[in-house]
Amino acid sequence: MSEAMGEWTFFSNYAHVLVCLAENPQARLRDVADRVGITERTAVRLITQLDEADILKRVKDGRRNSYVIDTSRNLRHPLESHCTVGAWLATILGPAKVRSLKERFVSFNKTDVAQRKNG
């Protein structure tokens, strides 16, 4: 990167983390942090905040976490709140990937509701 461009990027670390988890829902935090260029502790904080905002959910898979993204959620800033997470991710990863994320989220919700009824 040239000195004139500096070190800025168009997307925030939240966006970068979300893209990493959309590409690989079973990614280890260490791997997400390495790809984004942040510490593992920062990755945990960002994922926790995305979870609290109901943009993603953590799913226990043995000793590891897996992540499910709600592509129907709107982006948070007023300038982009008309856009959904799915529409934004489609520009980065393509519509086919977003369709698979939607299917995964629907499947997760069905399983989660059934477990709450039975448990």
> Per residue in 36-48, pLDDT tens?
999 999 999 999 9
The domain in which residue 93 lies consists of 13-118
Residue 48 lies in a domain: yes
pLDDT confidence bin for 114, thresholds 50/70/90:
low
> For all residues of the chain together, what is the average pLDDT?
91
Residue 1 lies in a domain: no
Residue 59 and residue 109 in contact, taking contact as beta carbons nearer than 8 Å: no
Please give the radius of gyration of the chain, using alpha carbons only, rounded to the nearest integer: 15
Residue 4 lies in a domain: no
pTM: 0.85
Q: How many domains does the chain contain in total?
A: 1
Helix H or strand E segment including 21: helix 13-23
CATH number at residue 84: 1.10.10.10
Residue 89 lies in a domain: yes
Q: Which single residue is written with the structure tokens 């300038």?
A: 79
Which residues, at least 6 apart from 29, have a Cβ–Cβ distance to it below 8 Å? Answer: 40, 43, 44, 47, 65
Which residues, at least 6 apart from 35, have a Cβ–Cβ distance to it below 8 Å? Answer: 16, 20
pLDDT confidence bin for 1, thresholds 50/70/90:
very low
